[in-house]
Amino acid sequence: MLNVENLTIDFFNQDEKTWFKAVKQISFHVKKGTVLGIVGESGSGKSVTSFSIMRLHDERLAKITGQVDFDSISLLNLNANEIRQYRGNQISMIFQEPMTSLNPVFTCGYQVAEAIILHQKVAKEEAKRQTIELFKEVQLPRPEKIFESYPHQISGGQKQRVMIAMALSCNPKLLIADEPTTALDVTVQKTILQLLLKLKEERDMAMIFISHDLGVVHEIADEVAVMYKGEIVEQGNAKSIFQNPQHPYTKGLLACRPSPALQLKKLPVVADFLTGIVDDALAHLNPSNQITAAETQARRSSLYAKKPLLEIKNLSTWYPINNGFFSKNKEYVKAVDQINFDVFPGETLGLVGESGCGKTTLGRSILRLIQPTSGNIIFDGKDITHVSKAEMRKLRKDIQIIFQDPYASLNPKLTIGQSILEPLTVHSLFKNETERKAKVLELLNKVGLKEEHYNRYPHEFSGGQRQRVVIARALALEPKFIICDESVSALDVSVQAQVLNLIKDLQREFGLTYIFISHDLAVVKHISDRILVMNKGKIEEEGFPDYIFNSPKAAYTKKLIDAIPGN
C-alpha cells in the first residue's frame, strides 16, 4: 500500500543559512492490514518522516527527495490541491499531543463533525450522527455528552480517543499514529493500544505506529523499523527483532527499560551499547549488576532501624465543588483522604497510581504548596502542618521537589546557571557570589552537565538535560528530602535510564530521602525500597516491591501490573 524509497529530508536553518539533513535515504513498506512500528529516541527523525508522507512540512524550508508512493500514486509529485484529497480521506494521522491538536474554543463534537462535513459533503445533522457513532466506536463514555464537551473538560485518555475518532472519520486506508500513548497512564495506554488494534482489524486498514518505547511497539507492530540519527539502522519482523536484535542501538533500547522481573543496581544506557562497552543484549544481566536477596535484606534492616524522617498522620486535602452561590450542601473532591505513612532516612518511597488518584496533591500537601484540610505532617520530629510562611521558607532548604515538567519549572529568561544560583542567594549560603558560582559549577558536574552550560538558556537543552538542571537546582540547598513528581515520565526510555541511575547515585552520595511519584509501576519497582499504591485519594496497598509484584492484594494493583508493556 505504501512504498517509501530513499527518502531524504533536508531543513533550512534560517539563523545559520544552512541546510540540515534530518532523514537520510530511508526505505520501508507498509502492507494493507499490517502495522509498521517506527521506533527511536526524540530527534531520530520518526515524526519528520511521518509528516513527509502527509506533506505537512513547510516546503519553503524543507527539501524532500526520494519516493513516497501510496497505492502506486507518487505523493511527492502531487500539487497542493491534489494532496488534500489524500489527507484525511486516504491517509489520516493521530498527532502526539491531543491537547495541542484539539482547538480549545470548539467542542470535541464540532471538531470531528467539521472534518466529516469538509471531506464527505454531508449536512450538519448527518455529520453529528456519524460523530456520535465514531465516539461509540472508540469507546468513549456518554458520547452525546462528550460531543458537547470542550477539550479541557475531558481526561487525557478521552482526548486521545477524540483524536482517534477524528482520524477515522473519513475511513482512511492508512492511519499514522505519532506517539499516541506517550503521556498516558499505563492502564490508559493499554486500552488505547487494544482499541487501535481492534479498529485496524475491523476496518482492515494499515497503520504506522511511532514511539520511543520498544516495549509499547512490541504490543502492536507486525514489522519494526528502528531509527537513529535520521537513518533506519535495523528493520524486519517484530518478533525476530525483539528476540534477536542485531544493531547495538536496538539492543540498548531494549535493555534500558526497567524490567519488573529484575532488580538491577544500574540500568544499562544506550551509550554503553553504541560505544562497545556492552555488546551483548543480555550482558547487563550479569550477576554483579543484580541486587541479591542478602543485599536487599541488609538495606532494609539498616533503613527501618532508624526513626522516620517524615510522618504523615490522617492527612486529607479536599477541594470544594462549586454547586452555586445559594447551595447549602457543600460537596468536596477528596483528593487526599485520611492517609497515613512514614518515610525513613535514606529511603526511596514509591508512590504509584493513575492520573487523578491524588499523588501530586499529596506531594504538594506535604511540602505545604497546598494547605491540607486536616491531619499532621511531621518532618524531622517537628509538626510543620501549621507553621508560618516564614518558618516554612526556612524549612524549604531541607525539603525540595523536582517537578514533572522541567521546562515549565525553569524561568526561560534566566540561564540555567542563574536558576541554580538563585536558591543559594535567597538563603544567603556561602560568603560571596564567587563561592556560590563555584558551587553551581560543582553541581552541574555532579548531574552530568558541563561548566560551559552555565550561560545557556533552558530552550537550548534537550528534555533529559533540562531534567538534570532541575535536579541540580533541587540539590543546591543540600536538602534531606526530595519529592520527585513524575520526574522521568516524559523522557525517552534511554534518557529515563540515565536519570534514574543519576537519582540513585545521588542518593548514595548525599544520603538523600525520596518520595518518587509515578504512574509507571516498572519504574517505581526499580527505584523504590517500599511502594504505596494510591487510588481515589486513598492508599490501596503498601509493601516491599517484590511482595507487591509477586502477590498483589488489591485488584487495582493487579490492573496496574497487567498494563506494563511486555509484561
Q: Read off the pLDDT of residues 79-89 as tens digits, 9 standing for 90 and up.
A: 988 998 888 88
Work out whether the CA dihedral 478, 465, 365, 309 comes out positive or negative. Answer: negative
> What is the pLDDT confidence band of residue 275, given thresholds at 50, 70 and 90?
confident
Q: How is residue 329 written as a grid cell? A: 450542601
Q: How is residue 59 written as a grid cell? A: 516546503
Instruction: Supply the pLDDT for residue 170.
Output: 83
Q: How far apart are CA 416 and CA 438, in angstroms?
A: 14
> What is the pLDDT confidence band of residue 183, given thresholds at 50, 70 and 90?
low
Residues ≥6 apart with Cβ < 8 Å to 261: none
Q: How many Å separate Cα 122 from the centre of its chain? A: 39
Q: Name the nearest CA neighbour of 315 among 395, 375, 402, 254.
A: 375
What's the average model confidence in pLDDT over 121-130?
92
Q: Which helix (H) or strand (E) holds 506?
A: helix 493-510
DSSP string for residues in 387-398: --HHHHHHHTTT
What's the average model confidence in pLDDT over 331-353?
93
What type of residue is 250? T
Least-confidence region, from 319-323, 349-353, 372-376, 558-562: 319-323
Q: How far apart are CA 194 and CA 427, in angstroms?
A: 51
Please say whether the beta carbons of 112 and 166 come within 8 A: yes
Instruction: Supply the pLDDT for residue 279.
Output: 65
Residue-wise pLDDT for 134-160, tens only, equals: 999 888 888 999 999 998 888 777 888
Candidates 3.40.50.300, 3.30.70.1450, 2.120.10.70, 1.10.10.10; correct CATH number of 307-321+333-398+482-488+513-567?
3.40.50.300
Instruction: Check if 1-88+174-244 and 307-321+333-398+482-488+513-567 are the same fold.
Output: yes
Highest mean pLDDT among 262-271, 279-288, 295-304: 295-304
Q: What is the mean pLDDT of the chain?
A: 89
**Whether pLDDT at 503 is above 90:** yes
Q: Domain limits of the chain?
A: 1-88+174-244, 91-171, 307-321+333-398+482-488+513-567
**Whether pLDDT at 339 is above 60:** yes
Q: How far apart are CA 250 and CA 225, in angstroms?
A: 10
Write the burial class of residue 60 (CB in 10 Å: 0-12 exposed, 13-18 middle, 19+ buried): exposed
**Whether pLDDT at 283 is above 70:** no
Instruction: Supply the pLDDT for residue 440.
Output: 94
Better-scored residue on pLDDT, 326 or 557: 557
Residue-wise pLDDT for 474-492, tens only, equals: 999 999 999 999 888 778 8
**Whether pLDDT at 10 is above 70:** yes
Q: Beta strand pairing status for 538-543 and 382-383?
A: unpaired
Highest mean pLDDT among 231-235, 262-266, 496-500: 231-235
> What is the pLDDT confidence band of residue 326, given thresholds at 50, 70 and 90?
low
> What is the pLDDT confidence band of residue 280, given thresholds at 50, 70 and 90?
low
What's the average model confidence in pLDDT over 176-205?
85
Percent of the chain exceeding pLDDT 90 equals 56
In this structure, the number of other CB atoms found within 10 A of the CB of residue 236 comes to 14
**Whether pLDDT at 213 is above 90:** no
Structural fold of domain 1-88+174-244: Rossmann fold (3.40.50)
Highest mean pLDDT among 149-163, 345-359, 456-470: 345-359
Q: How far apart are CA 35 and CA 197, in angstroms?
A: 9
Q: How is residue 356 written as a grid cell? A: 487523578
353 three-class SS = coil
